Structure 1
């Protein structure tokens, strides 16, 4: 018995946006270099810890909103994540947050799930990269 699948696809007016994922982490060390140049090491480390904790809390709010299916409440913390990440040089994390915002505006649950997973991975890698930078 031959299995036949329809070859026609429904016509839609939905614009598809391709989100490009870089092969490796994009990290700009300059903001952290400036921070460590301007502050004593223990103060700079305390600032970084507070910023990373704030980002983790905002990411938790995003995850809770996603799990509850409340896309509207996710936009503000996502925007803040992007802005903070850009300020401290977590370029890849900021890009992923921007892509999450795109998915939220489009109300695309499938893309949002994949992009949220990417955002979470980017945060894990960013934290490791920040501490690797500090140890060098």
Structure 2
């Protein structure tokens, strides 16, 4: 079973952000988005553990929207998959997709962080 997650980032989205806001403004937006994504991942984990399905769905949907805006295609797609599993009431699939969400979340945050170290 493969546990490495192939991460897809749309570098063009980040470049557009830097072009539009300048380096300082873009770094601020990216840092805030990364903090928000990390917080949402943590909240989703807590909601799952507590069986709070409505809150989990809302959190996954918001995470997907933020990830999409930041060009984190994989994370956005998996976030949408989480909402689909909740909607279908498929708890087995939800557990598997959540594991993937956490892997892709970690990988996406690391990839963006690494990209910021390089001059975008």
Note the residue ranges of structure 2 that are not aligned, 5 or more in a row.
Answer: none
Measure how far apart 1:117 and its partner are. 0.9
Which structure has more helix as a fraction of its residues? 2
CA distance in 1, matches of 2:29, 2:74: 20
TM-score when normalising by structure 2: 0.87
Which position in structure 2 is the counterpart of 1:102? 84
Unaligned runs of 5+ in 1: 1-22
Give 1 or 2 for the bigger CA radius of gyration. Answer: 1
TM-align CA RMSD: 1.4
Structure 1 segments (4+ residues) deviating >4 Å: none
Moved more, 40-49 or 99-108: 40-49
Match of 2:10, SS state, is coil
How many residues align? The count is 114
Task: Choose the corresponding residue for 1:121, options 103, 110, 113.
Answer: 103
Take 2:34 and 2:6, find their aligned partners in 1: how far apart are those partners? Answer: 20
**C-alpha distance in structure 2 between counterparts of 1:83 and 1:43, whole Å:** 20
- TM-score scaled by structure 1? 0.78
1:20 is matched with none
Are 2:21 and 1:39 equivalent residues in the alignment? yes
